[in-house]
Amino acid sequence: MKEQLDTLVGEMVTRGISLDDAQREFEAHFITRVLRHHRGNVSRAATVLGMHRNTLTRKLRTLRIRARRPSTPAAPPT
């Protein structure tokens, strides 16, 4: 993983990406992946990320990420 990270950082430096942009992009991807892993459950994702649910909700708004819970199929009529 260290080699992959080194390659990625090298590409970002070559392209002139700022540290702020790199951090924002990493944070957005990381949070999105954790949310997806927990099926859109913001409370569980916040716990894993080590932050309060309200803090994560604010970050989601700032980063323009939507926490989506997977849709469940409707129950068949009885």
pLDDT of 27-39, one tens digit each? Answer: 999 999 999 999 9
In a domain, 61, yes or no: yes
Range of the domain at 40: 31-67
Domain count, the chain: 1
CATH number, domain with residue 43? 1.10.10.60
- The gap between the terminal CA atoms of the chain, to the nearest Å, is 52
**Domain membership flag for residue 46:** yes
Answer yes or no: is 37 within a domain: yes
Q: Has residue 78 been placed in a domain?
A: no
What global pTM score does this model have?
Answer: 0.78
Is 62 within a domain? yes
Q: How far apart, in Å, are the Cα atoms of 5 and each of 1, 10, 26, 40, 50?
A: 6, 8, 11, 27, 23
The pLDDT tens digits of the residues spanning 49-76 come to 999 999 999 999 999 998 876 665 555 5
| Residue 35 CB neighbours (<10 A) | 24
